[in-house]
Amino acid sequence: MKKLSLYLLFFISFINAQKFTSTELEIINQGDITTNLPIYQTVEDHQHQTLLNLSTDIDPLDKNTEILVNRMKASLQSTDGGVGIAAPQVGINRKVIWVQRFDKEGEPLEYFLNPVITWRSELQNLGPEGDLSIPNFYDQFYRSNVIQLEYVDLKGQKFTEMVEGFTAVIFQHEIDHLFGILISDKKQKEKGEVFIKVDAFKQSDVVGK
C-alpha cells in the first residue's frame, strides 16, 4: 500500500510539473494568439537569463501547448531564413522545438514535443551555425552526423527516428536551447578539445567505378 502511495505521489507531482505557470500563460496568450511571439535576444538581460534556464517537459494535451506550438511556428516564419526555433527563444522554458526537415521532400517545418536525443554518432561534422537569439554571431561547430530522437506529438503519441546530416545539426542546436546551452557559450567550452580528422567514404553504386 505504501509503495502504491509513492507511485501515486510521483504521478501527481509529474502532472503538476507539466502545468503552465501564470507567467507562461500570460506570454503564450498575449495579444492575438494567431500571431508570432517576439524572439528573445541575448542583448537583453532578462531575456538572456531565460535563454540560459533549463526547460521542463510540456503536457501535449494542454490546449495552451497547441497555441504555443502554432505561435512558435509563426515566430520562425517571421525570420529571415531561420531553420529552427526552441520555446526558450519565445520566453517559455518548456521542451518544444520546430525544425526544418531538409531530409524530407518539400523540406517541411515540423514541431517536436519533449524531444530527447537517445544516441549520437561518434563521427562528427564541422559546419557553420548562427542563432536567432544572438545578433551577429556565427562560427563553426562540431555536431554528430547521425542522431536517434524520441519525441511526442500534440496527441501524446510517441515517436522514434534516426536523423542525419544538416537536419541532425538543427535538432542538436535546438535541443541545446532546452538545456540553456547557447552556441556562444558552446564555443568557449570547446576550446582546447581535440578532434581527429577522418575521411568518410560513400559506397559507389557501381562496383569498380
Residue 18 counted as domain residue: no
pLDDT in tens, 127-145: 999 999 999 999 999 999 9
Taking residues 11-15, report their average pLDDT.
49
User: How many domains are contained in the chain?
Assistant: 1
Q: How far apart are alpha carbons 53 and 55 in whole angstroms?
A: 6
pLDDT score recorded for residue 152? 98
Question: Which range, of 28-37, 38-47, 186-195, averages the lowest pLDDT?
Answer: 186-195
pTM of the model: 0.85
Residue 135 counted as domain residue: yes
pLDDT at 44 over 70: yes
Q: Find the CATH number of the domain harbouring 91.
A: 3.90.45.10
Residue 17 counted as domain residue: no
Which residue, chain included where needed, has cell 503564450?
28
Residue 98 counted as domain residue: yes
Residue 159 counted as domain residue: yes
Q: How far apart are alpha carbons 133 and 40 in whole angstroms?
A: 6
Domain that holds residue 153: 32-201
pLDDT at 180 over 50: yes
- Would you name the residues annotated as active-site residues? 174
pLDDT score recorded for residue 186? 85
pLDDT at 147 over 90: yes
Residue 156 counted as domain residue: yes
pLDDT at 1 over 60: no
pLDDT at 203 over 80: no
Residue 80 counted as domain residue: yes
- What average pLDDT is seen over the chain? 89
pLDDT in tens, 86-122: 999 999 999 999 999 999 999 999 999 999 999 999 9
* Whole-Å CA distances, 203 to 8, 49, 122, 207, 209: 53, 47, 20, 9, 10
Residue 6 counted as domain residue: no
pLDDT score recorded for residue 97? 98
**Concatenated DSSP letters for 119-154?**
EE-S-EEEEEEE-TTSTT-EEEEEEESEEEEEEE-T
